[in-house]
Amino acid sequence: MRITTLLTSLLLTATTAQALPPHPPSHIVVVIMENRAAAQIIDSPDAPYINQLAKRGANFTQSYAVGHPSEPNYLALFTGSMQGVTDDRCPIALEGPNLASQILAAGRTFVGYAESQPVAGYTGCKTAGGYARKHVPWANYAALPVAVSQPWSQFPQQDFSRLPDLAIVVPNQANDMHDGTTAQGDAWLQSHIDGYVRWAATNNALLILTWDEDDSRHGNRIATILVGPMVKPGVYDQRIDHYSLLRTLEAIYGLPHLGAAAQASTIGGAW
């Protein structure tokens, strides 16, 4: 019995290892866009840059959001739970573990960058420039250090080596496709993220591009694309969701799995 148990444990360990990058990325940047189904993005003439990324990286064709509207999806990705939130209410105050607190407790670094956020640690619900706290889950945790919540202006475009271990990037509502067009969001990504993508190719860094939800007409199937030197380009049909993404980030950093991430599948096969 002990031998069987040991063999099973070794097999599970090996399987988990195969599902992760062979060497942890030096940096990971997760960019979250808004309100588009995969069918509205992949092969769309309005999204030429995103489709370049899809061809250069791993395009997951069975990627799903976990709910509607926006805010529950951001919370799911950040905490492993929708936290009982079923709308876009603001403000909300939350306690307990989350991805940022896990990363910091492990001695690593995390920063969330939100476009049009006026100052670090901003707790307002929105700004005239298009900042929306409903898309910024770390702003709901008063226990997190102010330094984890930064304006987009602090993203180190001139020296990507200064990035934290894990960064989440949230464009404003004009540029994330919430209020603006698909073409506008695509152009924003090319202008603001392509420099990091090119740097990542020679610096063992990873980009994860995903969406919060679809347009409520496509079964909540969204585009999720991974790009980096540790990624095998291709089209993958593994069924994943926001909990899968959270689980994968936790697994890369050797962290325990929060909430529903414990039952989700690690994103695998593309490494």
Domain boundaries, the chain: 2-262
241: Cβ contacts below 8 Å, ≥ 6 apart: 63, 64, 65, 66, 76, 264
Q: Across residues 221-245, what is the average pLDDT?
A: 98
CATH number of 2-262: 3.40.720.10
CA pair distance 67, 51, nearest whole angstrom: 25
Span 9-61, pLDDT tens digits: 333 333 343 479 988 999 999 999 999 999 999 999 999 999 999 999 999 99
pTM: 0.93
CA pair distance 59, 30, nearest whole angstrom: 15
CA pair distance 99, 77, nearest whole angstrom: 8
Residue 135 pLDDT class (50, 70, 90 cuts): very high
Strands 206-211 and 28-33: parallel
Give the pLDDT score at 23: 86
Span 205-221, pLDDT tens digits: 999 999 999 999 999 99
| Residue that is written with structure tokens 């990507």 in the block | 160
Q: What is the 3-state secondary structure (H, E, C) of the chain?
A: CHHHHHHHHHHHHHHHHHCCCCCCCCCEEEEEECCCCHHHCCCCCCCHHHHHHHHHCEEEEEEECCCCCHHHHHHHHHHCCCCCCCCCCCCCCCCCCCHHHHHHHCCCCEEEEECCCCCCCCCCCECCCCCEHHHCHHHHCCCCCHHHEEEHHHCCCCCHHHCCCEEEEECCCCCCCCCCCHHHHHHHHHHHHHHHHHHHCCCCCEEEEEECCCCCCCCCEEEEEEECCCCCCEEECCCEEHHHHHHHHHHHCCCCCCHHHHCCCCCCCCC
Residue 7 pLDDT class (50, 70, 90 cuts): very low
Q: Across residues 183-202, what is the average pLDDT?
A: 98
Q: Across residues 53-82, what is the average pLDDT?
A: 98
Q: Across residues 102-124, what is the average pLDDT?
A: 98
